[in-house]
Each structure stands twice: as structure tokens, then as C-alpha cells.
Amino acid sequence: MRISVIGCGYLGAVHAASMAKLGHDVVAVDVDPVKIERLAAGEAPFFEPGLPEILTEAIASGRIRFTTDMAEVAGAQVHFLAVGTPQGPTGAADLTYVDAAVAALTPHLGAGEFVVGKSTVPVGTAARLAAEVEAAVPGASLVWNPEFLREGFAVQDTISPDRLVYGVPAGETGERAVALLDEVYATTLAEGTPRLVVDLPTAELVKVSANAFLATKISFINAMAEIAEVVGADVTALADAIGHDARIGRKFLNAGLGFGGGCLPKDIRAFQARANELGVPDSLAFLADVDAINLRRRDHVVELAQEILGGAVTGKRIAVLGLAFKPNSDDVRDSPALDIAARLLGHGATVAAYDPEAVVTARRLHPELEYVESATDALRDADLVLVLTEWNEFRELDPAAAASLVSNPVVIDGRNCLDRDAWTAAGFTYRGMGR
């Protein structure tokens, strides 16, 4: 099929390359000429495992091209809308880019074509945009197909997702949309991927509801970590025990610094804002506590560092291992790790920061930090070691070698990812989260 993808950020670039991988002819559009130039050259503008390979393959096959000219989408049967919805000043989602993309797209739409929203938007947005599309181009329609990408696994989650959700109107238009999307995802469906056909509001709610649940689960175990530290319990053992309950499950029960990135924090705030607009603020009032618990974890690490170093970090050299909000990503949007590094610097510490992939993106936000080229460089002469992103490189560090580099063998394991016994045996004072 001939497909267009509007927006070549994290979601759009991955989706466009993955659609080409599935055999479709794809034209991908973005207003940023630098981004388009990099993508056209086969260079991913961000770190995502697997993306460079499928991008190179797609370009070599001739099944994908990148452009800043919206007119080139003309004739595509399906137009995926994959632009960002950042958090606005009130906490609500900023739909500027979504509205601008639809306005730019409609002059090039044809009757019988479908605009397929993938962006995470407040419930009610799809109905409004569908009316605008149908008014501008009689015979064209808009439906919603939310994304469920995990950074670090985005290619896998696009090509082999755990489910596909189609939000379509009732009647003949909905039936045509389902048939068309089934053709888009024919390979994926043939592998047995579940497909759910729902109405537009339900499709919009799926992604934000999932993110709200996951954020709640993470904040729950971090609240338990706060209790565990007071009573002397081990939150990792607690998580293992309650995780055996099939109703609860072990995933997302890892205490630590909390969540960050470009989705969970903004989505739970935007969800609350939308509930307020709909006149049901109490229904999502609990998410304010979820957010507060999450942000408290960053305060806790800074306070713990001050406590360990005698009440203040001023003049101390601190090794910060990890800057991305999660491993296998260079994304530092709302990253707890980067936030903590910057706070420690603000308290007078010398911060030697290292991340396998996120130094470049971190430097853009916080150029004042000292960035080093390896974990070894960060550890050298450190008064305190902080492991803030659970990269395998940090999990696999030799604690004895680390002890020979630091000036003071103390480590705060912000992700509970180190072998506590091994680090203690090497002479380190070990402090974990809720342990």
C-alpha cells in the first residue's frame, strides 16, 4: 500500500521505517529539514535499538522517502498522524502540532482516504478532527489507532505489537477503515496479534489509561519503598512476593527513582486536566498523588547523598552513572537521573556524569554538568557513586575495580540493579532504594 506518515519524531520515524519493513511504500513528512536530511541519509535522529538497521534497509529498497513537502502525500491511501502532544503550561496536552498537521494535510487528501491518528490526545479530540476532515474533504475520514511503544523496544512493538486497537465510527465508514487497517497490518495480524475494534473515545482512552495504570503501579512500589526504609524491610523481596499474585504481577514493581520520559509524566497530567475539563475531577484525583510520589523519589536521592556525605555535598566529587530516563534510550525528557545530577551540581557538588548514549542529549539541557567519556572516568576520585539508569554496562561493573578508582567507596543504587553482596564484599557501603 501507499502510506504517508506525518511527523518524524520518535513515534513517526519508527512507524514509517516499520511500515516500509512490512512492505509498504511510505512517504514520511516533517517540518524540520535537518531531521529529514538525517533520516534520508539513513541516520536515526535519536538512539533506538533496531531502528538504524530497518531504516537503512527501507532506504535501500526504495520503499521509503522523507520530505518536508506535504504535497508529496497525495495519493496515499492511509495517512498516519504521528506528531507530538507535549505538555502545555496548564498540564493539558498541547494540540498545536496535531491541529497544524491536519490543516496542512487536508488540502492533499482525496475522497476515500483515511487519516489515522496515532498521537496520544485528550479524549474527544478524534471526534473534533474527524468532523474537520470530513468537512474539508467530503469522502475522507479520520479514525484512531493508538501507539503502545516502549522506548528501547519501539521497532519490535510496531512490527509485532501485543495488540492493535482501531477506533472507528459505526457503519460503512468504520467497516472500510477496519478493512484498510487490516491490510496495513496484514503481516502483524497473520502472526496472531489480537485486534480490538472500538469507538473513537475508547481508542483515545486506551493509551492514557494504560499509562496511568503503569504510573500508578510504579508509584505504589515506591511508596512501599518509603515504608520499607523506615521499618527495615527490603522492597525488592516484597515486590517478588506480591508479584507472584497473578492479579498483581511482577512487572513495573521495581522501586527506584520513579518514572520519566516523554510519555508517562505528561500523559498522567494531561489526563487529569482532561478530567477537570469534563467535569469529573475526582475520577483522576489519585493521579496527583501518583505524580507526587514519583517526584519525591528524586528528592530522596538528593537527601540521601547529602546524608551520606556528612550533611552536604558541597565540594564533593560525585560520579553519576546514567542520564537517560531508562536504558536503551538517549531520551532525557523529564529524566529523574539528569534532574538529580543537576540538583547535586546546584548544591555545590562536582558532578562527573556518564551515559552510554545520552551524553549529547543531556548536554543540550544541562551544559553546565561535567560529562565524561566512560564509567571509569566518572568513578575516578569520586566521593560518592550514584547509579541512576540501569544500563547493563553499569550492572556488569566490577565492584573491586570500581573500589580501586574511587576515593570513598560508597554507592547509591538508584535502580536496585547492582549485586548488593558483590559491592559490599568489594568494600563499598551500599544504599539501595527501599532496602
- Name the grid cell of 314: 558541597
d(CA 189, CA 163): 9
Do residues 238 and 229 make contact, with C-beta atoms less than 8 angstroms apart?
Answer: no
Strands lying side by side in the sheet with 384-387 = 370-371, 350-354, 317-321, 384-387, 410-413, 429-432
Give the Cβ contact number of residue 112 at 10 Å. Answer: 12
Cβ-proximal residues to 312 (8 Å cutoff; 6+ apart), any chain: 306, 347, 348
User: Residue 316 gets which letter from DSSP?
Assistant: -
Cα separation, 425 vs 330, whole angstroms: 32
Based on the residue annotation, tell me whether 8 is a catalytic residue of this protein: no
How far is the C-alpha of 24 from the C-alpha of 333, rounded, in Å? 32
H/E stretch holding 29 reads strand 25-29
- Edge to edge, the sheet with strand 195-198 lists 64-67, 25-29, 2-6, 78-81, 114-117, 141-144, 164-167, 195-198
For residues 238 and 223, what is the distance between their CA atoms, to the nearest angstrom? 12
Catalytic residue among 11, 83, 129, 263: 263
Contacts of 227 (CB under 8 A, 6+ apart): 233, 434
Cα–Cα distance for residue pair 107/105, rounded to 1 Å: 6
CA dihedral 370, 375, 376, 382 (to 10 degrees): 60
What is the set of active-site residues? 263
